[in-house]
Amino acid sequence: MKNLKLAICQMKVGNDKNTNLKQAGKMIGKSASQGAEVIILPEIFNSPYQTDLFPLYAEPFPGPSTEFLAAAAKKYGVCLIGGSIVEQDSDGRIYNSSFVFDELGNLLTRHRKIHLFDIDIPGKISFRESDTLAAGSAIGTFKYKSIGFGLMICYDVRFPELARASVLQGAQILIVPAAFNLTTGPAHWELLMRSRAVDNQVFLAAASPARNPAASYQAWGHSMVVDPWGTIIKEAGIDEEIVLIELDFSKLEQVRNELPLLKQRRTDVYQLKY
Amino acid sequence: MKNLKLAICQMKVGNDKNTNLKQAGKMIGKSASQGAEVIILPEIFNSPYQTDLFPLYAEPFPGPSTEFLAAAAKKYGVCLIGGSIVEQDSDGRIYNSSFVFDELGNLLTRHRKIHLFDIDIPGKISFRESDTLAAGSAIGTFKYKSIGFGLMICYDVRFPELARASVLQGAQILIVPAAFNLTTGPAHWELLMRSRAVDNQVFLAAASPARNPAASYQAWGHSMVVDPWGTIIKEAGIDEEIVLIELDFSKLEQVRNELPLLKQRRTDVYQLKY
């Protein structure tokens, strides 16, 4: 199998959409100049992560942010996984959606967040995406350069069924644009990213926004890349940073040969239907 | 919900079955004297963990080891989860089986390991349970004092489907008698135990044998109890030790209210059949 050079842009996201797009453009350009073939932006990279603001920042496809992504992918000749944006559908609903473009600027896939982030931890964090967002219902797998990708947006990663279904559909790397916070981040960020990789014997790349002290929602940061044995092979801090790494997909075959978990599933005892 | 006092006997296992049973008896007695209501022994607690020896140590049910377990449960008035033993079935097959007895010495359940441990990591560890063992096909859930238990033996814990199925069947605590080794232990022991607890919002108790330098298979030790938020609330070292802890099951309700993961599963997108 081939190698793949991948970059995560852990960018700081503010209130101004144009500034956000401009900053994304800079980091994409820098990643490409360092040889990245696949570039990943964080969850809601173009607007504040704030439920009441989602309708204000929502835009249709095609729209300014997706046009920006398509153009950047083409300009730099890369596969651009556009984190996510708030997407306005023609049916009046809005979604937390990830748009992916290939090196010609063509849309490879769109994944709408399936599991909305509704939590209430008294005294720590309360957040209800479902107040303004609708949920997607399709598993986000796609192929690029003959490698299988699986897209999950943030809260999606908490559901082992979705990661497993993506891998059974052919994903060899799971991509997780995600904004964990200062409660769930230290508790579960690393644990979830590593365990999805280990259980499914895949690479995993998690892309967080950088910490922004001015924002109402504090993102955890710590974007990371995990290998199929569960080792964190690259990790960011909390500030703006590009995580650049070359992945060797023979590692995936090696781990699957040593510990043939996926073949050892007892589908006579349980079955995942999707 | 109620509290439950639980003990894990991280015992050193040697080649002599009678010595092993005697040592288990001592640790069970000591755990009971400290108030434990549920006592857990490690995987293959009565014989060496060595595939070629499994047929020699195998015994039927009822047999000396299960009679010992039943008597000890009754004597101390506890629920005794007998780690596992090599069970000789009348059909000629042998299994890696966990027998559980209530405080009257009655059999509560028997769980046969579903996923056999067949791995081959060159230069590190090679092991093929399937050379001598047959695999079970039933999910190991049972109730005791109105609390739902799910039993998984060692390699079983690597398959998220089984933990999920056990929890959907009512398990509120997962019990994992397990002998990880010096390769898989440092890499994955803590990760797997914590992630099964976090994904399913249950307690988890993992019972390892103590390290025995004289054995052909070196167990990882580090028996642990994890709460439904993924926090390790008690952990052993590598030597013989009793891990004693009182569990407050209101923690489980609290976590499930704050982060209602189990209700948020998208069963219209995926379904686990079992």
Compute how many other C-beta atoms are within 10 angstroms of the C-beta atom of residue B134. 18
Per-residue pLDDT for B51 more than 70? yes
Residue B265: CB partners within 8 Å, gap ≥ 6? A159, A161
pLDDT (average), residues B192-220 = 96
Catalytic position from the list B37, B87, B154, B190: B154
| Local confidence band at B1 (pLDDT 50, 70, 90 cut-offs) | low
Q: Are B110 and B138 in contact (CB under 8 A)?
A: no
Q: How far is CA B41 from CA B11, B164, B231, in A?
A: 8, 23, 22
Cβ-based burial of B137 (10 A; exposed 0-12, middle 13-18, buried ≥19)? exposed
| Domain positions in chain A | 3-258
What span, in angstroms and rounded, lies between the C-alpha atoms of B46 and B59? 11
Residue indicated by tokens 């590190």 = B124
Residue A201 backbone zone (phi > 0: left; psi -120 to 50: alpha; other: beta):
left
Q: How far is CA A217 from CA A69, A80, A94, A126, in A?
A: 24, 25, 20, 11
Residue A156: CB partners within 8 Å, gap ≥ 6? A113, A114, A115, A162, A176
Residue indicated by tokens 């153009």 = A71
Q: Are B218 and B235 in contact (CB under 8 A)?
A: no
Test mutation, A119, A264, A267, A274, chain B, max B CBs within 10 A: A264
Q: What's the confidence (pLDDT) of residue A34?
A: 98
Cβ-based burial of A75 (10 A; exposed 0-12, middle 13-18, buried ≥19)? middle
Contact: B199, A160; criterion CB under 8 Å: yes
Active site residue B190: no
CA distance B57 to chain A (A): 26
Contact: B114, A194; criterion CB under 8 Å: no
Active site residue B113: yes
Contact: A160, B164; criterion CB under 8 Å: yes
What span, in angstroms and rounded, lies between the C-alpha atoms of B64 and A232? 47
Task: Provide the annotated active-site residues of A.
Answer: 43, 113, 154
Determine the angle formed by the axes of helices B190-200 and B160-168, rounding to 10 degrees.
40
Give the B-side interface with A, CB within 8 Å: 114-116, 118-122, 135, 137-139, 158-162, 164-165, 187-188, 191-192, 194-195, 198-199, 229-231, 257-261, 264-266, 268-274
Q: What's the confidence (pLDDT) of residue A263?
A: 95
Compute how many other C-beta atoms are within 10 angstroms of the C-beta atom of residue A131. 11
Tell me which amino acid residue A216 is: S
What span, in angstroms and rounded, lies between the C-alpha atoms of A210 and A88? 25
Per-residue pLDDT for B109 more than 60? yes
Nearest to B59 by CA among B18, B28, B87, B97: B87
Percent of chain B residues past pLDDT 70, beyond the cut: 100
What span, in angstroms and rounded, lies between the C-alpha atoms of A58 and A75? 25
Residue B84: CB partners within 8 Å, gap ≥ 6? B43, B44, B45, B96, B97, B98, B113, B153, B177
Tell me which amino acid residue A203 is: F
Give the DSSP H/E element, type plus range, for residue A195.
helix A190-200
DSSP character for B16?
-
Contact: A158, B261; criterion CB under 8 Å: yes
Q: Which two tokens stand for residue A75?
A: 């300009």
pLDDT (average), residues B93-102 = 98
Q: What's the confidence (pLDDT) of residue A98?
A: 98
Residue indicated by tokens 């500034």 = A19
Per DSSP, chain A holds a count of helices (H) and strands (E) of: 8, 16
Q: What's the confidence (pLDDT) of residue A1?
A: 57
Contact: A191, B187; criterion CB under 8 Å: no
* Strands A85-88 and A79-81, sheet pairing: unpaired
Q: What's the confidence (pLDDT) of residue A62?
A: 97
Q: Are B207 and B41 in contact (CB under 8 A)?
A: yes
* Strands A85-88 and A94-101, sheet pairing: antiparallel
Residue A108: CB partners within 8 Å, gap ≥ 6? A79, A100, A101, A102, A142, A144
Please report residues of A whose CB lies closer than 8 A to that of B120. Answer: 257-258
Test mutation, A112, A126, A151, A191, chain B, max B CBs within 10 A: A191
Q: What's the confidence (pLDDT) of residue B110?
A: 97
Q: What's the confidence (pLDDT) of residue B29?
A: 98
Give the DSSP H/E element, type plus range, for residue B232.
strand B232-235
Per-residue pLDDT for B125 more than 90? no
Q: Are A18 and A257 in contact (CB under 8 A)?
A: no
Angle at A132 between CA A131 and CA A134, to 5 degrees: 105
Q: What's the confidence (pLDDT) of residue B11?
A: 98
Test mutation, A270, A271, A274, chain B, max B CBs within 10 A: A270
Model-level pTM greater than 0.95?
yes
Give the DSSP H/E element, type plus range, for residue A246.
strand A241-248
Complex ipTM value? 0.96
Intervals of chain A under pLDDT 70: 1
DSSP character for A133?
-
Cβ-based burial of B263 (10 A; exposed 0-12, middle 13-18, buried ≥19)? exposed
Contact: B119, A259; criterion CB under 8 Å: yes
What is the DSSP code string of B81-136?
Answer: E---EEEEPTTS-EEEEEEEE-TTS-EEEEEE-SS--EEEETTTEEEEGGGT-B--
Pick B3-258's CATH classification: 3.60.110.10, 3.30.390.10, 3.10.580.10, 3.30.499.10: 3.60.110.10
Q: What's the confidence (pLDDT) of residue A125?
A: 87
Contact: A274, B269; criterion CB under 8 Å: yes
| Residue in chain A nearest B260 by alpha carbon | A119
What span, in angstroms and rounded, lies between the C-alpha atoms of A196 and A225? 12
Tell me which amino acid residue A202 is: V
Half-sphere exposure of A91 (CA within 13 A, CB side): 5
CA A14 remoteness from chain centre: 19
Catalytic position from the list B37, B79, B87, B113: B113
Q: What's the confidence (pLDDT) of residue A210?
A: 98
Per-residue pLDDT for B43 more than 80? yes
Contact: A270, B273; criterion CB under 8 Å: yes
| Residue in chain A nearest B264 by alpha carbon | A115
Please report residues of B whose CB lies closer than 8 A to that of A258. Answer: 119-122
Compute how many other C-beta atoms are within 10 angstroms of the C-beta atom of residue B52. 10
| Local confidence band at B2 (pLDDT 50, 70, 90 cut-offs) | confident
